[in-house]
Amino acid sequence: MKKPRIILYVLGGVFAVVVLGVGVAVYFQSQKASELRDRLNREERQLRAEYNKDIFPSQANVETIQKNFSAVQGFSKALRDELRKGMVQPERAKTPGDFSRLREEMIAQLIADAPSGIGDQKVVKDDAQFGFDRYATGIPAEKDDVSRLLRQLRITDRLVRALYDSGILTLDQVARDEFEGASAASASSDSGEGRRRGGSRRTTRTAELRVTPPVLPPDAPPGLDCQRFAFQFTTREAGLVNVLNKLNEMRPFAVVSSLSFEKQGQDVVFPDEVKEEAQSSGRRREAATPAPAAPAVINARPAPRTARLVSGPLRERPIRVNMTVDVYSILPVQSQDSEAREEG
């Protein structure tokens, strides 16, 4: 009898311990469940409060947002168009042979489209090379230089046509930043000077144009490109103003970095009769006894208007202009990548 009681007591103790453990576990789980229930209630109350605020836009707001989105799209398109105007689009041609072909086509077209300046003569000579004199002798361009040469070619075409439209009288010289090296500049200078001696239709007293490479500021944005060109031409005062206005309207952005001009005559030009009368009156003043003035003829026919003018557009002499132009453009992405690979 004693042994079964011991077993019964042991089993009762184990059962009591198990019940106590289960009770403790249930108590702690009920605490967690209570906390979770309170959290869910708070989240539900917060969600209902947000929903009651009616945060969803009304149909009128949706229409307003759509209109604003359309306006932003229009602004973005206009900005892309303006940036595209400031770009010199790359040619598909990438080889030296393609550059030679495009250069010949551009020069031939510019000479053919040149307007008349003085008399029936064109403003450019038939053998003009527009700054690409080095390649007129058949020297091929370096493959690494083709991309920049093509940009210079397209910019030269725009600048020369702007001068054509401005009404210049003669276009004597065109020079560019010959980045290919010192040998390119000397070759261009020799070939250009030889042509001016041999086949020029006009005798000019001009020095060879020199172009110093442009320097971008340190804070220039990435992708900004600057190409420098120099021009020597003759025009009248109104033509020079037209040139400056045309360059101001030009895309890509063009800046006149230097400008100098030389007058080809006096601002006030007397007719021949006035000169003779002034000379004769000076001799009479020098004489001891000046001759009496001739009586005025009342019925004398007045001189023509052009003979009575001493200044103005009809008496204006042409001026020789030396001008340097910096053209700023944005490099297309593919050109930036290719040039980065070339430099690397």
Structural domains in the chain, CATH included, are 82-267+312-343 (3.30.70.60)
Interval 304-330 mean pLDDT: 74
pLDDT digit string, tens, across residues 109-119: 999 999 988 87
pTM above 0.85, yes or no: no
Q: Report the pLDDT value the prediction gives residue 165, as an integer from 0 to 100.
A: 93
pLDDT digit string, tens, across residues 198-249: 333 333 334 567 788 888 888 877 778 889 999 999 998 889 999 999 999 8
Q: Is the pLDDT of residue 191 over 50?
A: no
Q: Report the pLDDT value the prediction gives residue 112, as an integer from 0 to 100.
A: 93
Q: Over the Cα atoms of the chain, what is R_g?
A: 43
**CA dist., res. 24 & res. 17, Å (int):** 11
Residue in 262, 336, 285, 343 with CA at minimum distance from that of residue 88: 336
Q: Is the pLDDT of residue 285 over 80?
A: no
- Provide the 3-class DSSP secondary structure of residue 309: coil
Q: Where are the alpha helices (DSSP H) in 250-316?
A: 272-286, 305-308
Scan for tokens 């510019």, then name that residue.
110
**CA dist., res. 152 & res. 227, Å (int):** 7
